[in-house]
Amino acid sequence: MTQRPLLLLDVDGPLNPFRARFLWHRGYVTRRQHPANWSSRQKPGSRKLRRGLRVRLHPGHGARLLALPYELAWATTWMHQANEMIGPVIGLPELPVIEWPELFAEDPDGLYWKTRTVVEWTAGRPFVWVDDMVTGSDVRHVAEHHDGPALLLPVDPRHGLRAREFAELEHWALSL
C-alpha cells in the first residue's frame, strides 16, 4: 500500500470525554473554549457563553496518535478550530479537516449526519473513523457504499480514547 490509511478524529467523545465526571487523576487538563459552532447555539450574553465550553483533553494523546500508522484528519464539528484549539493542547500538528456541508442535518435514512460526507471525503481510501455517535446503521452504510476497508470505532464519551482503542487502531492498520 502506498498511502497510509486515514484516521478520522472526532473531538467531543473520543478526545474530550465530555460525559466523564472525574478525569484529573488520569492526566487530563481542562480548558474553557469558545468554538464557533457551540457559541452560535448559546443565548447571547448568557453565563454559559461567557464561561465557555468545558473541554477535557489528555496532552499525551497527540503523541500516541502520531505514533500510529495513519494519516490523521479531523472529522468534528470543531472543523478548522480543532487545529487552533485542540491540536496544540494535545500535541498534534495542523491536520486536514472534513468540512461539513450542513451541521446536524437530519438524514432521510436515519444515518448519523456525518456518515455520507465521511464516505465521500475518504474517496475509497482505507479509514478508521473514531466517534462517539456511530451506529450499526452507519457501519452498514459504509460497508455498502465505501470501496475500501473501513472501521467505524465507537468511543464511549464517558471515557474517551483508552488503551483498548489505541490497541485496536494499531491492530487494524497493521492487518491491512
CA distances from 33 to 40, 65, 103, 140, 159 (A): 13, 22, 19, 35, 20
* pLDDT score for 101: 93
HSE-up of 26 (CA within 13 Å, CB side)?
18
Beta-ladder partners of 127: 6, 150
Distance between CA 132 and CA 14 in Å, rounded?
Answer: 7
What domains lie within the chain, and their CATH numbers? 6-19+58-175 (3.40.50)
CA neighbor of 154 nearest in space, from 141, 168, 143, 171: 168
For residue range 97-129, what is the model confidence (pLDDT) as tens digits? 999 999 999 999 999 999 999 999 999 999 999
Q: Which residues of the chain have pLDDT under 70?
A: 1-2, 23-25
* pLDDT score for 24: 64
Helix runs in the chain, H state only? 36-40, 47-51, 61-66, 81, 87-90, 115-122, 136-145, 163-175
Average pLDDT, the chain: 94
**Number of CB atoms found within 10 A of residue 163's CB:** 8
* pLDDT score for 129: 98
Distance between CA 39 and CA 107 in Å, rounded?
Answer: 24
CB distance 3 to 148 below 8 Å: no
* pLDDT score for 1: 45
CA neighbor of 96 nearest in space, from 173, 165, 159, 7: 7
